[in-house]
Amino acid sequence: MEKKILDTVKKAVKELYAIEATEKQLLLQKTLPDYEGDFTVVVFPFAKSAKKSPVEIGEDLGKYLKKNMDEVADYNVIKGFLNLVFRNEVWTQFLSTNYNDENYGINESQEQKPVVIEFSSPNTNKPLHLGHVRNNLLGESVARVMKAAGRNVKKVNLVNDRGIHICKSMLAWQKWGEEETPESTGLKGDQLVGKYYVLFDQKLKEEKETLRQQGVAEDNLDEASELMKQAREMLRKWENRDEKVLELWKKMNNWVYEGFDETYERMGISFDKVYHESETYLIGKQMVLEALKRNQLEKAEDGSVWADLSEFDLDKKLLLRKDGTSVYMTQDLGTAKLRYEDFDPSNMLYVVGNEQDYHFGVLKLVLKKMNYEWADRIEHVSYGMVELPDGKMKSREGTVVDADDLMDEMYHTAKAMTEELGKIDGLSNAEAENLVNMISQGALKYFILKVDPKKNMLFNPEKSINFTGNTGPFIQYTHARIKSLLRRSGKSSFDLDAYNPEDLILPEKDVIKKLAAYPAVVKEAAKEMSPAIVANYTFELVKLYNQFYQDVPVLKNDNQLVIDFRLAMSVFVANVVRSSMAILGIEVPEQM
């Protein structure tokens, strides 16, 4: 529709003023609520070359469009804005052809090559916290929105399962764990392992304090620490495939995986493939050594290997330590290559916080330097940090918000609220539990996803999660209300052919116009990789529907055709709400 208007405008300026309009000059927007009209053409851009005032041009174009487009019923010009009023038929016909299409706005994938999207990427030494929650929700949702826009999406996870930090929790458990297991303690596996990671840190601090008192210099504390020595020794043993260490490593990692799986499932998150750093870091090492042979990298005197990035105005980047062990960058090179070979993707996306902007910039450059032509297919989907009222989360200082705790708390709040409002009266226990889960997850997901991913966001544990206003539950509630309305009507098919378009009233028109925008919103959100665009759209839609619902009785009308029309519109809204919420990973209830 938008395209048709612009094409006609283009023809008009050519015929009237002999102007060849460029893409940029053709500006169309929705008419503001205060003015009469549906679409607005901005005519300022033509003023100069047409040598006429904007108002005159608006009149000319308005006349032309009214004559040449059946859809245009009338027009008015205010300053440099040409407001077009469409015939009601345009909207009523749009409604009747689309209201019952459950895939309205969603495109089936036609792509061969997939776009691979990595997210979550947890460490196996501690449980997930609020920062991971944003990452997980964003990753899952970006995958879904791209899929909805017709991309062929593969979701992958890269588990950081090796390294000195993993050895720390292993060592602490070995020393002080007394054979505790998730079964014996009743703790989730990741929580149990995390407990020992924290314990290690405490013990290390104590040891360092003692060393300090003995006069050891600050810079040498790590080197002098007996605990660190043992951790490093354990890492060496791990790399040499020491059986006992490997056994412990497997045991504890499996505890963590079981814990993660539980959390992922609760959040509704899944992956097509899971990579482990323990399986990829050697590939990266191999790549570096080969590139060194090709003289694309440099070896320093002490034996360490570097990439010289001076041609990009950057410093050198270390890729292998002098003892030959790999660093973070090295294993990312390996994973990228492995992933490229596994999927032959058109794009490789990494959902990782903006604190790693520099890292991903360098990753691409190093790959380029090593002559991998697919380096440009890597894209960092960078998102902002989650901050707490008293600043950033720091695991060491115990100021993290644990993901499981957070979800538990949300569940309890949602449950109390739902009971208080009498929403679960008449539901079975299982149904009630399902509903409360849906609502608490909806509240959390919507709260996080409605914010522009690029921006830092603030999370206040006491105040952030609401269930009224611009929230997930508000949207869920609207869906339930529509479903209730439809049940009450007892109808599932509607006679729309005989409906008189003149009966269309403004609150209906506003809703239908919003519905018409949905396909473009999905595309835009996929292009920007921003679920927030979908979230904000859905809120606006639901807001408009509620205004309609409040003012206009649906089932009470002398004219059965009007009732049918309004019910069909409600079906349409419910479909789009369900579809857009699904993009955010949020389910909607039949009643609440």
Partner RNA sequence: GGUUCUGUAGCUCAACUGGAUAGAGCAACGGCCUUCUAAGCCGUAGGUUCCAGGUUCGAGUCCUGGCAGAAUCACCA
Tell me how far apart the alpha carbons of residues 29 and 6 are, in angstroms, rounded to a whole number: 11
Tell me how far apart the alpha carbons of residues 140 and 151 are, in angstroms, rounded to a whole number: 14
467 binds RNA (CB under 7 A): yes
Smallest distance from the beta carbon of 83 to RNA, in angstroms?
5
3 binds RNA (CB under 7 A): no
Smallest distance from the beta carbon of 590 to RNA, in angstroms?
7
412 binds RNA (CB under 7 A): no
End-to-end CA distance of the chain: 37
Smallest distance from the beta carbon of 320 to RNA, in angstroms?
9
- Choice between 62 and 114, CB closer to RNA: 62
223 binds RNA (CB under 7 A): no
232 binds RNA (CB under 7 A): no
CB–CB of 91/133 below 8 Å?
A: no
Instruction: Identify the CA nearest to 37 among candidates 86, 70, 77, 71.
Output: 86
Which letter, b or e, does each residue of 329-367 get, where b requires 16 or more Cβ atoms within 10 Å of its Cβ?
bbbbbbbbbebbeebebebbbbbbbbebeeebebbbbbb
Smallest distance from the beta carbon of 9 to RNA, in angstroms?
14
Among 1, 164, 217, 505, binds RNA (CB under 7 A): 164
Burial of 535 (C-beta count, 10 Å sphere; 0-12/13-18/19+): buried
Binding mask 270-309 for RNA (x = CB under 7 A): -------x----------------------x-x-x-----
Helix, strand, or coil (residue 78): strand
538 binds RNA (CB under 7 A): no
Among 10, 16, 44, 519, binds RNA (CB under 7 A): 44
Stretch that binds RNA, among 38-46, 208-216, 255-263, 283-291 (CB under 7 A): 38-46
29 binds RNA (CB under 7 A): yes
Cα 141 to chain centroid distance, Å, stands at: 4
- Sign for the pseudo-dihedral over CA of 185, 186, 190, 195: negative
Smallest distance from the beta carbon of 112 to RNA, in angstroms?
28
Smallest distance from the beta carbon of 181 to RNA, in angstroms?
26
> Tokens 């479909």 identify what position?
575
Tell me how far apart the alpha carbons of residues 554 and 548 are, in angstroms, rounded to a whole number: 9
Tokens of 333: 């090179």
Instruction: Identify the CA nearest to 447 among candidates 523, 386, 528, 398.
Output: 386
> What is the phi-psi region of residue 475: left when phi exceeds 0, alpha when psi lies from -120 to 50, beta otherwise?
alpha
Smallest distance from the beta carbon of 342 to RNA, in angstroms?
21
Stretch that binds RNA, among 64-72, 189-197, 211-219, 529-537 (CB under 7 A): 529-537
Identify residue 337 by its one-letter amino acid code: K
- Choice between 180 and 276, CB closer to RNA: 276
Tell me how far apart the alpha carbons of residues 297 and 309 are, in angstroms, rounded to a whole number: 10
Q: What is the DSSP letter of 319?
A: E
Binding mask 144-163 for RNA (x = CB under 7 A): ----------------x--x
Tell me how far apart the alpha carbons of residues 252 and 200 are, in angstroms, rounded to a whole number: 15
Stretch that binds RNA, among 187-195, 261-269, 321-329, 341-349 (CB under 7 A): 321-329
Q: Which of residues 107-146 bind RNA (CB under 7 A)?
A: 123
- Choice between 180 and 528, CB closer to RNA: 528
Smallest distance from the beta carbon of 175 to RNA, in angstroms?
21
Stretch that binds RNA, among 10-18, 32-40, 264-272, 400-408 (CB under 7 A): 32-40
27 binds RNA (CB under 7 A): yes
Instruction: Identify the CA nearest to 531 among candidates 351, 316, 405.
Output: 351
Stretch that binds RNA, among 130-138, 191-199, 339-347, 448-456 (CB under 7 A): 448-456
Binding mask 46-65 for RNA (x = CB under 7 A): -xx-----------------
Tell me how far apart the alpha carbons of residues 27 and 175 are, in angstroms, rounded to a whole number: 69
Binding mask 330-369 for RNA (x = CB under 7 A): ------------------------xxxxxx----------
Give the DSSP letter string of 507-534.
Answer: HHHHHHHHHHTHHHHHHHHHHHT-HHHH
- Choice between 72 and 187, CB closer to RNA: 72
Stretch that binds RNA, among 60-68, 176-184, 250-258, 414-422 (CB under 7 A): 414-422
Stretch that binds RNA, among 212-220, 225-233, 258-266, 549-557 (CB under 7 A): 549-557
Residues 6+ apart with CB under 8 A from 503: 559, 561, 562, 565
- Choice between 114 and 545, CB closer to RNA: 545
Tell me how far apart the alpha carbons of residues 51 and 520 are, in angstroms, rounded to a whole number: 34
322 binds RNA (CB under 7 A): yes
Q: Which of residues 168-207 bind RNA (CB under 7 A)?
A: none
Smallest distance from the beta carbon of 566 to RNA, in angstroms?
8
- Sign for the pseudo-dihedral over CA of 90, 93, 99, 100: negative
Stretch that binds RNA, among 130-138, 247-255, 322-330, 372-380 (CB under 7 A): 322-330
Among 549, 564, 571, 579, binds RNA (CB under 7 A): 549
395 binds RNA (CB under 7 A): no
